[in-house]
Amino acid sequence: MTLGAPSSRRAARVARSRVAVRLGLIVYSALSALLLLRCMVLVLQFPNSVNSVAAIIATTDPIVFPLTVVPGAHRSILAGLSLADVTAAVVLIAAPLLLVGRQTRG
């Protein structure tokens, strides 16, 4: 029996946990940046004929789509920005508040 085995298992578990947290932060920041870009593109009313604008809209459509089935979701808030777009951005920005609120002090 090796004395270093439990600590190496613990170290591996901590390393996997850190990798998972970092991957989660990367995905969260990418989604937040894409939704911010979508909101800017819609407010500034850039044409969809521009390839980068079309890519941003197409990439973020699956995020916003579930919110478009709600009645009134297509109501324009500011220029081309709809209620569904604003709701998606607010929900994504407010998501970390749930995690912060659930942390236990110990």
First and final C-alpha spacing in the chain: 33
User: Span 4-32, mean pLDDT?
Assistant: 81
Query: Of 24, 28, 5, which is closest to residue 16 (Cα–Cα)?
Result: 24
Cβ atoms within 10 Å, residue 82: 19
Contact present, 31 and 63 (Cβ < 8 Å): yes
Any idea what DSSP says for residue 46?
A: -
For residue 84, what pLDDT band results from cuts at 50, 70 and 90? very high
Residue 54 has pLDDT above 80, yes or no: yes
Q: What's the rounded Cα separation, in Å, for the pair 86 and 39?
A: 8
Residue 1 has pLDDT above 50, yes or no: no
| Mean pLDDT, all residues of the chain | 86
For residue 5, what pLDDT band results from cuts at 50, 70 and 90? low
